[in-house]
């Protein structure tokens, strides 16, 4: 488990586009905090927000948010960005308690790919078909990520969403909603392996030897051998 993520901010009394533009020009990001009968406008320093956004699983972790000295446990629900420079322009935080049921996209973490049977022994390659899955759980049970062990995955094998090993108290929304099962990874033959298998056989005359030619040559060799045995007798 990684260290708890923390960020501080202040209440924001003034609202509107002009005020938001003024804040952004001062490298301050306007936002809102809502949930658990709480709703108010806030603002946080852009540098502090950028720092926590460096965490790849930031959307699946409970964050300690301090507003004007009051602590809140929150989830980062949305981050809006300026399309011209990708700077954060607005942020939404959802207040949660340990028993709050939340629906969150959780990243998948694939492990042991370097010793995967289908890769190391059978010439395959792992393909990630999904990088995250949507789960339903309490805020206290929310996993930072979900591990998928690829060590025993063989060539031409896939791992389906229904086969994912989940932490206690965590459920896939796709299963709860009876949606069609989908693969999250597969192990298949690489293009390089196919090209090696398809390399032509070159004869002594420098020409490509086809399957028919090889069969004909084998047949000729067999006939010659039979003639030699007949002459010896």
Q: Hey, is 161 helix, strand or coil? A: helix
Identify whether 47 is part of a domain. yes
pLDDT number for residue 229: 53
Q: Are residues 16 and 85 in the same domain?
A: yes
Alpha helix locations (H) across the chain?
17-25, 46-53, 117-120, 173-176, 191-197, 211-232
Q: Are residues 117 and 91 in the same domain?
A: no
Residue 98's Cβ-side half-sphere holds a number of Cα atoms within 13 Å equal to 1
d(CA 141, CA 95): 15
Count, residues in the chain: 233
pLDDT number for residue 220: 54
Q: Are residues 177 and 115 in the same domain?
A: yes
Identify whether 213 is part of a domain. no
Q: Are residues 108 and 67 in the same domain?
A: no
d(CA 215, CA 123): 28
Q: Are residues 67 and 121 in the same domain?
A: no
Q: What is the pLDDT along the chain (233 residues), one digit of tens a residue?
A: 567 899 999 999 888 999 999 999 999 999 999 997 778 999 999 999 999 999 999 999 999 999 999 999 999 999 999 999 999 999 999 999 989 999 999 999 999 999 999 999 999 999 999 999 999 999 999 999 999 999 999 999 999 999 999 999 999 999 889 899 999 999 998 765 555 455 555 555 555 555 555 555 555 555 555 555 555 55
Identify whether 226 is part of a domain. no
Range of the domain at 136: 102-194
Residue 31: how many CB atoms within 10 A of its CB? 26
| CATH code for the domain of 180 | 2.170.120.20
pTM, two decimal places: 0.74
């Amino acid at each position: 488990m990684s260290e708890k993520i923390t960020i501080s901010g202040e209440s924001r009394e003034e609202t509107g586009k002009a005020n938001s533009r003024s804040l952004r020009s001062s490298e301050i990001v306007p936002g809102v905090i809502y949930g658990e009968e709480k709703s108010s406008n806030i603002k946080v320093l852009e540098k502090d927000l950028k720092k926590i956004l460096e965490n790849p699983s930031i959307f699946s972790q409970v964050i300690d948010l301090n507003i004007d000295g009051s602590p809140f446990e929150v989830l980062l629900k949305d981050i809006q960005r300026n399309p011209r420079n990708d700077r954060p322009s607005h942020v939404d935080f959802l207040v949660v308690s340990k028993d709050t049921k939340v629906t969150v996209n959780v990243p998948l973490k694939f492990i042991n790919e370097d010793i995967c049977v289908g890769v190391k022994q059978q010439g395959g390659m792992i393909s990630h078909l999904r990088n995250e899955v949507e789960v339903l759980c309490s805020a206290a049970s929310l996993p930072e990520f979900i591990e998928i062990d690829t060590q025993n995955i063989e060539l031409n094998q896939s791992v389906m969403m229904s086969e994912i090993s989940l932490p206690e108290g965590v459920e896939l929304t796709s299963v709860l909603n009876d949606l069609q099962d989908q693969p999250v990874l597969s192990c298949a033959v690489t293009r390089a392996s196919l090209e090696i298998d398809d390399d032509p056989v070159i004869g002594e005359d420098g020409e490509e030897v086809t399957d028919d030619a090889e069969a004909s040559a084998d047949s000729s060799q067999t006939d010659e051998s039979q003639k030699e045995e007949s002459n010896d007798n």
